[in-house]
Amino acid sequence: MGCPVILDRDGTIVVDDGYLHDPARLRFLPGAAEGLQMLHAAGHPLIVISNQSGVGRGLFTLAQLEAVNRRFVAMLQEAGAPLSGLYFCPHDPRQGCACRKPNTALLLRAAAELDFAPSTGVVIGDKSSDIELGTRVGATTILVTAAGSASDGRPARPDYTARDLAEAARIIAQARAPCAPGTALEEDA
């Protein structure tokens, strides 16, 4: 089994539509379906962790989010990249919850439920909060960016930068070391 790959949803796998709440508007980003399929074929469990504060902000309901998630799960299945886990934080940032990225509660829950050590994971996302999440648990981090910087405009220090998920999948395939605990790249293991 390959190391678990923990992915952000909006702006990483699908187009960030801004508080997306209509399943019909879900669209893969370029390279996303290909990259996820490569990762799944190589034996990496795929886990999605997503901040969905639109629920807490009252912009859409939990039922709407669940409808989007059902379509999202089906899209990945159809792309040959079924998910092992899907976790989301529905809270408004002002609630100060423990699960909104970069807080680690959802990643730790995924690790407990799916039985892996958080530091053996690879965290992939388009925002500084995704990279910070990975850094906090000692995981390997990949920033997905076409522009060369985090999409929230904040500084991020990822281990790797990829143009899209297809490139991220190639990085993981080539740099097998991050998937093996105790190697030089596993600084905090």
Does the annotation mark 130 as catalytic?
no
Nearer to Mg ion (CB atom), residue 9 or residue 44? 9
Q: How far apart are CA 21 and CA 118, in angstroms?
A: 30
The answer to whether 165 touches 31, Cβ cutoff 8 Å, is: yes
Q: Which entry of Mg ion, Zn ion, none binds 11, CB below 5 to 8 A by partner kind?
A: Mg ion
132 binds Mg ion (CB under 5 A): no
Which helix (H) or strand (E) segment is 46 a member of?
strand 46-51
Question: Smallest distance from the beta carbon of 130 to Mg ion, in angstroms?
Answer: 6
Which residues lie across from 51 on neighbouring strands? 89
Q: Which entry of Mg ion, Zn ion, none binds 10, CB below 5 to 8 A by partner kind?
A: Mg ion
Q: Which entry of Zn ion, Mg ion, none binds 91, CB below 5 to 8 A by partner kind?
A: Zn ion
Cβ neighbour number for residue 158 with a 10 Å cutoff: 22
Nearer to Mg ion (CB atom), residue 72 or residue 186? 72
The answer to whether 90 touches 49, Cβ cutoff 8 Å, is: no
Nearer to Mg ion (CB atom), residue 3 or residue 156? 156
Question: Smallest distance from the beta carbon of 126 to Mg ion, in angstroms?
Answer: 4
Cβ neighbour number for residue 24 with a 10 Å cutoff: 7
Binding site for Zn ion (CB under 5 A): 89, 91, 97, 99-100
Three-state DSSP class for 125? strand
11 binds Mg ion (CB under 5 A): yes
Set 8, 126, 130, 159: catalytic member: 8
Query: Given its phi and psi angles, is residue 153 left (phi above 0), alpha (psi -120 to 50 degrees) or beta?
Result: left
Question: Smallest distance from the beta carbon of 52 to Mg ion, in angstroms?
Answer: 11
Q: How far apart are CA 83 and CA 62, in angstroms?
A: 20
Question: Smallest distance from the beta carbon of 94 to Zn ion, in angstroms?
Answer: 11
What is the contact surface with Mg ion in residues (CB under 5 A)? Answer: 8, 10-11, 126
| Residues carrying an active site annotation | 8, 10
